[in-house]
């Protein structure tokens, strides 16, 4: 993998990722942009002890532009975009409208006393474009193209983990208008949080309690249990297993685990990265075949925090969709939104069977 770094007109970093042997030079950004700044602030919810990001500047972010005005496509003679080069394979850059940022103005203060605690939203949010082709999707990438994205995820995790304020790195993809996507170009995001987010912390503290009680790894035992049961397993390959979880929350949900424990994306070796691309592309294509329109989804990497809770951590990807039937969406209504208590309208075993039937 070849890595080329540059700067956008407002000072944000951009990184091009290319297959070995590609010759690239960082292209200057010709736009007239003011220096990047952010008003991001963190506020602690005293009832849940969870940090909430407040980023009011995001209200003005770009929303559903037509394809010929997409800011994630390469720059052309007649249109300057977020990517100043005329082509790219994979590219990552700091988000112009970040929830968390290293470019903070002086309005955010630190107050860690009382009920109204605040701190600056000092992290980083990046956009990662999977391909320069606008009218495609991750599922349509070749194995080599998908592998380059995996390598870029690992590289960004390594780099972002070196930022002093960052405690957790979270790569993810939102796909589809039903999810709330505001740009149609195939892309994902990477959040580098100044705290460990609730979902990751819950999984890891549960794994630590399980290890103390059973002297075993919760994630590893989950893999063994799914293989032994078999009814929810979709793919059992040499390096990875993909299955619908026993207690699936979402109407479509698949988890991907490497069979050998690694804490994070940089920990994956070549064999694990190659095998993942084949398994992941297969399942994404099944998602798209399961219903008539392309399936909206969220793909969320769960990996070890930067400095804590690393011993029991086992890298995995959680893929899920709000599509519950042809033309029907699962909304997070009273129970889910009000109490965080999920109700799934279908049996995980039946979903597994549907996705097995969708295999090519």
User: Is 255 in the active site?
Assistant: no
Nearest to 190 by CA among 150, 214, 160: 160
134 is in an annotated binding site: yes
At what angle are helices 270-290 and 348-357 packed, to 10 degrees? 90
Cβ atoms within 10 Å, residue 216? 12
The secondary element (H helix, E strand) that includes residue 257 is strand 252-258
* Catalytic residue (one of 168, 187, 255, 316): 187
129 is in an annotated binding site: no
125 is in an annotated binding site: no
Tell me the C-alpha distance between 123 and 98, whole Å.
9
Residue-wise over 13-52: b if at least 16 C-beta within 10 A, else e?
bbbbbbeeeeebeebebeeeeeebebbbbbbbeeeeeebe
Nearest to 200 by CA among 225, 226, 167: 167
Residue whose entry in the numeric block shows the structure tokens 């075949």: 289
214 is in an annotated binding site: no
Tell me the C-alpha distance between 221 and 237, whole Å.
17
CB 90, CB 149: distance < 8 Å: yes
Q: C-alpha distances in angstroms, 33 versus 5, 11, 87, 164, 285? A: 19, 9, 22, 27, 39
Binding site for Zn(2+): what residues are annotated? 70, 73, 134, 185
Q: Which residues are catalytic?
A: 187
């Amino acid at each position: 993998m070849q890595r080329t770094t540059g700067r956008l007109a407002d000072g944000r970093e951009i990184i091009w990722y290319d297959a070995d042997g590609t010759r690239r030079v960082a292209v200057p950004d010709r736009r007239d942009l003011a220096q990047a700044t952010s008003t991001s602030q963190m506020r602690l919810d005293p009832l849940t002890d969870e940090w909430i990001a407040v980023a009011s500047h995001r209200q003005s972010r770009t929303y559903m532009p037509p394809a010929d005005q997409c800011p994630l496509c390469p720059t052309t003679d007649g249109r300057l975009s977020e990517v100043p080069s005329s082509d790219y394979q994979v590219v990552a850059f700091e988000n112009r409208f970040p929830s968390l940022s290293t470019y903070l103005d002086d309005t955010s203060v630190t107050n860690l006393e009382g009920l109204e605690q605040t701190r600056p939203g000092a992290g980083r949010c990046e956009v990662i474009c999977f391909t320069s082709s606008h009218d495609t999707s991750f599922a349509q990438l070749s194995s080599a193209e998908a592998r380059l994205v995996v390598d870029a995820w690992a590289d960004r995790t390594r780099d972002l983990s070196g930022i002093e304020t960052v405690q957790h790195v979270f790569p993810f993809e939102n796909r589809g208008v039903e999810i709330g996507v505001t740009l149609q170009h195939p892309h994902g995001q990477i959040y580098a949080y100044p705290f460990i987010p609730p979902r990751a912390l819950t999984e890891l503290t549960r794994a630590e309690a399980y290890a103390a009680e059973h002297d075993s790894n919760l994630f590893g035992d989950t893999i063994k249990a799914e293989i032994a049961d078999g009814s929810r397993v979709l793919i059992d390959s040499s390096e990875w297993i993909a299955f619908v979880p026993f207690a699936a929350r979402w109407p479509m949900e698949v988890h991907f685990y490497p069979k050998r424990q690694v804490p994070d994306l940089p920990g994956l070796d070549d064999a694990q990265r190659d095998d993942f691309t084949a398994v992941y592309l297969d399942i994404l294509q099944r998602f798209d075949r399961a219903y008539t329109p392309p399936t909206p989804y969220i793909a969320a990497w769960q990996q070890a925090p930067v400095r804590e809770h690393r011993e029991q951590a086992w890298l995995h990807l959680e893929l899920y969709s709000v599509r519950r039937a042809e033309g029907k969406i699962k909304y997070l209504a009273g129970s889910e939104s009000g109490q965080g208590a999920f109700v799934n309208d279908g049996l995980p075993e039946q979903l597994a069977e549907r996705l097995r039937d969708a295999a090519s």
